[in-house]
Amino acid sequence: MDDQEAGFAEYVQEGTVRDFNHTVVDPEFRGQGLSKPLISEALLETKEEGLKIKASCSAVKAFVEKNPDFKELLA
């Protein structure tokens, strides 16, 4: 992975809410458990910026449901 992009969490920001609508892990890196840290980092960054989230992406929604510490971010 080093400097290679393994994936991304896509969002659209509307005011103080980031609507996470798509999460992608490159096929080369799938099956390595990368979606969880990718989503976690995106949500932590959102929290640090004082924003809320909308979890339109099923992966982000499932992550938030399994990690109650992030539920406070839901708009």
pLDDT at residue 34 in the model: 86
Rg of the Cα trace of the chain? 12
Residue 19 confidence class, pLDDT cut points 50, 70, 90:
very high
pLDDT at residue 30 in the model: 86
CATH of 7-73, picked from 1.10.3720.10, 3.40.920.10, 3.30.465.10, 3.40.630.30, is 3.40.630.30
At residue 17, the 3 state secondary structure works out as: strand
Written as six digits, the tokens of 20 are: 């996470």
pLDDT at residue 62 in the model: 96
Ranges of each domain in the chain: 7-73
pLDDT at residue 5 in the model: 80
Residue 46 confidence class, pLDDT cut points 50, 70, 90:
very high
Report the 10 Å Cβ neighbour count for 60.
27
The predicted-structure confidence for 21-41, as pLDDT tens digits, reads as follows 999 998 888 889 889 999 999
Cα–Cα distance for residue pair 36/58, rounded to 1 Å: 13
